[in-house]
Amino acid sequence: MAGKAWLRLVTVASLLWLLPWASAIHRSDFPESFIFGAATSSYQIEGAYLEGNKSLSNWDVFTHVPGRIKDGSAGDVADDHYHRYDVDIELMNSLGINAYRFSISWARVLPKGRFGRVNQLGIEFYNNLIDSLLLKGIEPFVTLNHYDIPQELEDRYGAWLSAEIQKDFGHFADVCFAAFGDRVRYWATINEPNVAVKAGYMLGTYPPARCSPPFGSCAGGDSDAEPFAATHNVVLSHATAVEIYRRKYQSKQKGLIGIAVYTTWYEPLTDTPEDRLAAERALAFEVPWFLDPIVYGDYPPEMRQVLGSRLPTFSPEERRKLGYKLDFVGINHYTALYTRDCMFSSGCPQGKWTQHALAATTGERNGVPIGPPTGRPSNYVVPDGIEKMVTYIMKRYNNPPMFITENVVRKIIQDIQIIMEKPVVIAMPRICFTTTLGYSTLMATSPKLPKL
């Protein structure tokens, strides 16, 4: 992929909506090797949470605690993909997609992590899934970890808070590369590590539900320290998996390996130096927080300036391991926000969102939203945010290969409930957004931008 003359992107969610309806932009407008796909994760769709010798994951345990999930739902059955994957693949084929991004349930393949045996029933399930996809001409794009880990590892040593997780993740990756790598060409080590760390160890809204005031009220945790300790182990776990792939598998299997990060584009609330710097800090505390160590071997200077000694340091051996880099960056993008300075400016609203980056975010400027609201907090439809984010990553990391690994309008449930009665009216905002997104994506791949 690195040898291509143009930036290669894949969008694996919302561009599906573009294909049947949008008249102003067509699939043929994109490069031939542009990949259109769909994305899921194991906990969200598989179900069968205790079938086939699978153990409990951290999400199984988390969602079974009353009050953790607003409506009490859990992934015990979900979409029953474990039993109905063949039907789902037929649906994918009917949509005309040529890639499917899914994650492997760590607890299904290694129920006890490296402290137990490989579960052959889990290997068999993913072998069948991959083979069925390939028979339909659909490229498997595999994520090793999408939030869920065996609860065994949480109970034994605190999961991402312990350096032991690096050994376990390396073992898990090794097993997957050996079992599936002969047919899988695209690997993402970890999906949205920035979300998993913030939600799990800063806000306490994801497992293991650890936090401290003012970020939240949890049974345990330290929101000022644990997110950065967990990040260190996440980054080094990624590096461990990449090193294993480079040394043992890549030359034979000819695949690519990267990571998928959650991104929000931040605009300065006002055109002042302070707010412009605040926007830069907000970006650094989200994307470079994870990509800078992987690409450059250390955390962003914007973070070092604010956090100082609270950020861990990398040993010479850890820096050596980080030297294996990555083959691509996966971009999960949903929205954009305005940013206001809280480092130099007075009267800044204080709260959980301003404590670390010293930047407050808002979706409105002078009462005008940055884009159409979606009904979800801090989430607006801002299609050109993806072009700006792609350009930002291109400039900061010397134009790495990129995939748009997630993007969609976040009103799916409400739309589906009403779409049966008013399909055209309800679908139109999504179609308009996706058409605009298509133009923004084309802009990001256009000849005017730097080339690989």
In the chain, the amino acid numbered 451 is K
192 is catalytic: yes
Is the CB of residue 226 less than 8 Å from the CB of residue 310?
no
d(CA 431, CA 409): 10
101: Cα separation from own chain's centroid = 11
Query: Is 280 assigned a catalytic role?
Result: no
Q: How far apart are CA 57 and CA 63, in angstroms?
A: 10
Distance separating alpha carbons of residues 421 and 42, to the nearest angstrom: 31
Q: Which of 141, 146, 189, 187 is nearest to 58 (CA)?
A: 146
Residue 314 to residues 7, 293, 294, 317, 319, Cα–Cα distance (Å): 31, 9, 11, 8, 6
E strand segments, 69-152 = 99-103, 139-145
Cα–Cα distances (Å) from 392 to 321, 356, 371, in that order, read 26, 22, 20
Q: Which of 46, 139, 152, 192 is catalytic?
A: 192
What residue type is 371 in one-letter code?
G
For the annotated catalytic residues, the residue numbers are: 192, 406
